[in-house]
Amino acid sequence: MSELASRRPGRRNRDTAAANPAASPISPGMVGGRYKPLTDAEVLRVHALALQLLSDLGLSQVTPSLEARAVAAGCRVDEAGRLRFPAALVEDVIARSRRSFTLHGVDPAHDIEIGGRRVHTGTGGAAPTIMDFETGRYRESTVADLYDIARLVDRLDNIHWYHRSIVARDAPTILDLDMNTTYACLSGTSKSIAVSYTDGNSVRAVQPMLDAVAGGEGRHRKRPFCTAVCCHVVPPMRFATESCDALEAAVLAGMPILLVSAGQAGATAPAALAGAVAQACAEVLAGLVLCHIIDPDCRGIFAAWPFVSDLRTGAMSGGSGEQALLSAACAQMANFYDLPNSVPAGMTDSKLPDAQSGGEKGYTISLAAQAGATMIHECAGMQGSLMGTSFEGYVLDNDLLGAILRTVKGIDVSEDALSFEVIRDTVMGPGHYLGHPQTFDRMRSDYVYPEIADRRSIGEWEKAGSADARERARERTRAILAKHYPRHVSEATDAAIRSRYNIILPRARMEAGHGAW
């Protein structure tokens, strides 16, 4: 048999493996942490500074309710009205916090375990604009866009949860915004969702909706699938009053809490990267202490998110090399504390899903994943330094995330993988590995096959029409959104939610053939 003929079965097998998700070597929660931008001694220095900031400087503008809880737990309010945190209390909370917990999906099939350097990738952000799929121009984002992005995410295996990535500009009030955001996320995907709630009133108001989807009153507390995103601080070192109110309400409701400190290096955090990491750690630890005081069994997620400024202009630079280092260092600090954590990555400065976008997303997400971040937020779909998003971007980034997650898994060096017998049999036999059983077996267990990235020859590509990656992603996006309308929320439950809340998204818009796609 000729070598060309011997290749044909292998090609068919590769196609079979690519089409079979069960054959993929990657999965949510593979362990990272091989990359460490800080030495062990440097980690200790950053930690010491974080404790010093909390004890010697503290944070201002704490809410009266949280101040009373904190003082009763051993904090003190100084003459300037700043809440100071004793180092012993902070370290005690770190020691007694959950090391990991299950982040539930609406469907238990999407449950993930966060903590322990187990890497997961998902969405995030608050983009006010979206690139219109038909015109290619940015416009204000809507509730329908939120729902459509959720439907996309529901079908993209390397995006493990849906944290709302846009702000619906068609919601008439803040309460309507929070309720409709939750509804659109819940209706569009059965994965875990996350929403940034404005205040405690929104958190309390949404509980009946979450319970209804969970199956009845009090059921969401037992399996909470909605995370409250709380930017509880306004850097540098001030509490955000409304977000702290939301934090307290969410902890009392049993929701997971994403404790976000999002200073901008050179603006609201030190330009020196080490100082930015230390300030972010201090601000997140302050939030963790407050959560722990409310409920020692709280599901707190350490989300140190220092961003980068382009110091020539002051504008955010989400795709910079410095951002990659900051996010990786924050993941390393969180793993030093052994806490479930989140960092931001993939926040390209490019306005299009182009070469700049792919490069910036590639190195920022890779460093965060290799550093062992347990949740990497904002790593799919975001454009323009978080100010925009695009539908096809999620499909493109899902492909990229698959390749990055494959690097997290690393190389198998078991006795079978070292392959002495395989090499011996091949050298002494046919002289190539194309037909060897190990080649077929490893094709399924060791290799990830992209859906969008094109590996055909130039001639094959030209004959097929010369489509670039973005064109192929647009085809895939349209195919998903034309047909995929999840039905995990029953019609009766949906009707009950609509009778209670001002739901903006028309029910007809949630049916195939409505015309939008």
The CATH number that domain 94-409 falls under is 3.20.20.480
Q: What is the mean pLDDT of residues 181-188?
A: 98
Q: pLDDT above 90 covers what percent of the chain?
A: 94
Instruction: Examine the pLDDT at 7 and tell me if it is beyond 70.
Output: no
Locate the domains of the chain by residue range.
3-30+411-445, 94-409
Longest dimension (CA), the chain: 87
DSSP 85-99: --HHHHHHHHHHS-S
Residue 253, pLDDT score:
98
> What's the length of the chain?
517
Q: pLDDT above 70 covers what percent of the chain?
A: 95
Computed over every residue of the chain, the mean pLDDT equals 94
Take residue 68 and report the two structure tokens written for it: 């009373």
14 pLDDT band, cuts 50/70/90, is very low
Q: Which of 362, 321, 328 is nearest to 344 (CA)?
A: 328
Given a contact cutoff of 8 angstroms between Cβ atoms, the answer to whether 248 and 199 are in contact is no
Rounded Cα gap, residues 231 and 474, in angstroms? 34
- Which tens digits make up the pLDDT trace of 117-174? 999 999 999 999 999 999 999 999 999 999 999 999 999 999 999 999 999 999 999 9
How crowded is residue 203: how many other Cβ atoms within 10 Å of its Cβ?
25
- Which tens digits make up the pLDDT trace of 391-414? 999 999 999 999 999 999 999 999
Rounded Cα gap, residues 357 and 350, in angstroms? 5
Residue 515, pLDDT score:
67
- Which tens digits make up the pLDDT trace of 414-458? 999 999 999 999 999 999 999 999 999 999 899 999 999 999 999
Residue 517, pLDDT score:
85
Residue 12, exposed/middle/buried by CB under 10 A (0-12, 13-18, 19+)? Answer: exposed
Instruction: Examine the pLDDT at 3 and tell me if it is beyond 50.
Output: no
Residue 13, pLDDT score:
43
Q: What is the mean pLDDT of residues 352-378?
A: 97
- Which tens digits make up the pLDDT trace of 25-74? 999 999 999 999 999 999 999 999 999 999 999 999 999 999 999 999 99
Does the CA dihedral 315-317-321-323 come out positive or negative? positive
Query: In one letter, which amino acid is 37?
Result: P
Instruction: Examine the pLDDT at 9 and tell me if it is beyond 60.
Output: no
Q: What is the mean pLDDT of residues 481-510?
A: 97
176 pLDDT band, cuts 50/70/90, is very high
Instruction: Examine the pLDDT at 331 and tell me if it is beyond 60.
Output: yes
Residue 23, pLDDT score:
67
Rounded Cα gap, residues 177 and 169, in angstroms? 8
Instruction: Examine the pLDDT at 516 and tell me if it is beyond 90.
Output: no
Q: What is the mean pLDDT of residues 304-332?
A: 96
Instruction: Examine the pLDDT at 189 and tell me if it is beyond 50.
Output: yes
* Virtual torsion, Cα 390, 392, 394, 400, nearest 10 deg: -120
Instruction: Examine the pLDDT at 88 and tell me if it is beyond 50.
Output: yes
Residue 25, pLDDT score:
92
20 pLDDT band, cuts 50/70/90, is very low
- Which tens digits make up the pLDDT trace of 247-281? 999 999 999 999 999 999 999 999 999 999 999 99
Estimate the crossing angle of helix 200-214 against helix 491-500, to 10 degrees. 160
Instruction: Examine the pLDDT at 6 and tell me if it is beyond 90.
Output: no
